[in-house]
Amino acid sequence: MGAESRSSVSPPGRQYWKIAVVVLGVTIVAATGLYHLARLYVLNEAERNIQAVLLTHKGLHRYIQEVMHPVFYKLRAEGLVADTFYAPEIFSSTFIVRNQHKAYNEERKAAGLEEIYYKMAARNPRNPVNKADALEEKLIRMFNENKEIKDYREIVRIGDKDYLFVALPFLVNQQRCMKCHGNREDAPLGLQALYPGLGGFNEKAGEIRAIESIRAPLEQQYFLLYIVFGSSFAGLLVLAGLLFFNGRLRGMVRTRTHELEQEVVERRRAEEEVRQVNEELENRVEERTAQIAAANKELDAFAYSVSHDLRAPLRGIDGFSLALLEDYGEQLDETAKGYLGRVRAGCLRMGELIDDMLQLSRLSRGEIRQQEVDLSGMAGEIAEELRRGAPERRVAFEITPGIRVFGDAILLRAVLDNLLGNAWKFTAKIEEARITFGRKEEGGKDLLFVRDNGAGFDMAYADKLFGAFQRLHSLQEFAGTGIGLATVQRIIHRHGGTIRAEGEVGQGATFYFSV
């Protein structure tokens, strides 16, 4: 897929350039191959022509020697031919073959064919026509020196034409040849009379006397056209193939592109949907936030009005109860005065409850302002304040120094106020009171704790400790509204922390918390 998409991206011009290179390459390779094939064919053709000529010559030689010679000798023995008669035209096979070949070439020429050069080349011929040239002489020597070599071939250029030149040993002197080709003095008289020179005499048995030297033209010009046409055809074929496959590839790319486009459209639609859902969600969140903000505002207004309107009547009740006591005290008996005392106490307690409740509500609503808070320092200040409030008490504070956390200073102050205040309160009846603020590792987490050795509590009610208005001690034992720990828990939760308590009746209590 990657390759396809890449090819679809490359400019079409570059592709045609590539195709042109490929087609040219194929054409060159095809032309080279065809040229070699043509050459081989032309060489074979020449080789076959030469072979045919040689075999024809061989047949003629045999006919002369095996048919004509016996007739001649018979006629001579019968005295019909004189002993001195000798005519190469009807006796010498080489002479006859040479002249037959001359006629053959004339016939070829007449038929519009090129001549095939043929020569019986000898070092020491009787007829100078057969005299070997420099190359032939060298070849005769070579064949004599190395009998293993059966032929020699070479492509030679004469004028502007190439020829296949073949040379091969023709005659090896036999013992019987020595009659006519040995010492001249031993040769028949007729022969001596005919050939006055040394040509053809003094040969040695076992030596090559003559070679056949033959040269056939290489008709390669006819093939040039085939090569051009053949290679062009191959090139065109490849071009057609390439264009065909290119077209198919383009078709595939088009199809795939179309598919991808569809996918893109699909994906855009999905993205659009996601965006819409997100927008909807955002709107809903905004709406909710606004609702929550409105609810908070209402709660705020409610708390505000509570702090004003709920307290005012209490002050009336308390004030007028006191007015009764003061102004009409002598008309009331002790029981009535006691009742009025209870009315006033109830008012005061309700005032405290309202104040604590408002504090709880206020602490739960305000924004948390994160900053580094020195809890140890804070605990020290609170301890000082508590000591100042009741200088007669003997309480040992143990505060681990350097405890710092991130949180809202005002809210955390309220936490320590409540926890240390509770510890102070519940150790009131202990002589050697001890209050500890420290740090402890538990399960890899840093826990802070406030511990006292005061009244403690029953673990069975541990879950009630943090409920608003929940109290584990009577008012007579220890004062309080039961809001403090609820406030502490609310603040700790708002800081993302946890709080729990451990204790035992009469053995003190420990509050563990994290911020």
CB 468 within 8 A of CB 364: no
* Closest to another protein by CB, 228 or 323: 323
97 or 411, CB closer to another protein?
411
The nearer residue to another protein, 251 or 313, going by C-beta atoms, is 313
Closest to another protein by CB, 308 vs 388, is 308
At closest approach, how far in Å is the CB of 354 from another protein? 9
Q: How far is CA 83 from its chain centroid? A: 102
Nearer Cβ to another protein, position 322 or 332? Answer: 322
Least distance to another protein from the beta carbon of 341, Å?
A: 12
Backbone phi, psi, residue 188, to 5°: -55, 150
Amino acid identity at 80: L
User: What are the structure tokens assigned to 91, written together?
Assistant: 């006796």
Sequence-distant (≥ 6) Cβ neighbours of residue 503 within 8 angstroms: 456, 457, 458, 459, 462, 509, 510
Region of 212 on the Ramachandran plot (φ > 0 left; ψ -120 to 50 alpha; else beta): beta
Nearer of residues 157 and 308 to another protein, judged by Cβ: 308
Q: Which is nearer to another protein, 43 or 317 (CB)?
A: 317
- Reference 208, options 228, 235, 236, 181; nearest CA is 181
Q: Which one, 199 or 346, has the nearer CB to another protein? A: 346
Sites of contact with another protein (CB under 8 A):
304, 307-309, 311-316, 318-323, 344, 347-348, 350-351, 355
Residues ≥6 apart with Cβ < 8 Å to 125: 131, 132, 199, 200, 210
SS (H, E, C) 430-463: CCCEEEEEEEEEECCEEEEEEEECCCCCCHHHHH
Cβ neighbours for 121, distance < 8 A, ≥ 6 positions apart: 130, 131, 132, 133, 136, 137, 140, 167, 210, 211, 212, 213
Give the end-to-end CA distance of the chain in Å, rounded to a whole number.
55
Residue with tokens 């036999």: 174
SS3 (DSSP) at 400: coil
- Position 124: which residue type? N
